Amino acid sequence: MPLSHRPLSACILAVLLGFSSLLQAQPREIDWLELMPKEDLALLESMPEIEHEGDGPALLPDEIMTGRVVPEMSDVSGRIAGFVVPLKTTTDRRILEFFLVPYYGACIHVPPPPPNQIIHITYPEGFEHEFLFEPVWVEGTLVIEDTENAMGASSYSMEATAIEPYR
């Protein structure tokens, strides 16, 4: 290669390497449906409309509430968007622990989502979140872990490394 082309080649290579590292810096976006095994997705797609009978809550079929997980989603780092259901807060209203759910009102209204559609999030530094109807992005590493309390049950958990408003 002639000497006059080497600086241009080096410059192009540097730009491409810089662009490549920029692409790698973007966290993977996790989709809620990736957390459901194929058999649960099939149940969900073939499920009849939920019936509200009597004064009790509407219930999802037992088969979909088993909490089955997708083993390949264990230790996946990325970010996922959802809504906050606070579980533990500080006296100054910073949220330290919450369930992340795919739609507003889940776990507050019935029926709750299946456990594989709820992620138990811990965020030791806490964050302020005034309006629960506003979604957030949560970044971290997904872990298969059961959590159960009065608000619901989850099949996945994540210690958040970042939380920001969904835009």
Supply the pLDDT for residue 143: 98
Supply the pLDDT for residue 43: 84
Check residues 146 and 25 and name the one with the higher pLDDT. Answer: 146
Residue 144 lies in a domain: yes
Summarize pLDDT for 149-160 with one digit per residue, the tens.
988 899 999 999
3-class secondary-structure state, position 117? helix
Summarize pLDDT for 76-99 with one digit per residue, the tens.
999 999 999 999 999 999 999 999
Confidence of residue 105 (pLDDT cuts 50, 70, 90): confident
Cα distances from 25 to residues 18, 80, 123, in angstroms, run 11, 16, 21
Residue 155 lies in a domain: yes
Residue 14 lies in a domain: no
Q: 75 is in which domain, residue-wise?
A: 28-45+61-165
Number of domains in the chain: 1
Q: How many CB atoms lie within 10 A of CB 155?
A: 23
Count Cα atoms within 13 angstroms, Cβ side, for 98: 26
Residue 12 lies in a domain: no
Residue 110 lies in a domain: yes
3-class secondary-structure state, position 131? coil
Residue 16 lies in a domain: no
Residue 7 lies in a domain: no
Check residues 46 and 144 and name the one with the higher pLDDT. Answer: 144
Tokens describing residue 66: 């088993």
Confidence of residue 11 (pLDDT cuts 50, 70, 90): very low
- For the chain, count helices (H), then strands (E): 2, 5
Supply the pLDDT for residue 2: 56
Confidence of residue 52 (pLDDT cuts 50, 70, 90): low
CATH label of the domain that carries residue 37 = 2.40.50.870
Query: Of 53-62, 66-75, 107-116, 119-128, where does mean pLDDT reach its minimum?
Result: 53-62
Residue 17 lies in a domain: no
Supply the pLDDT for residue 5: 52
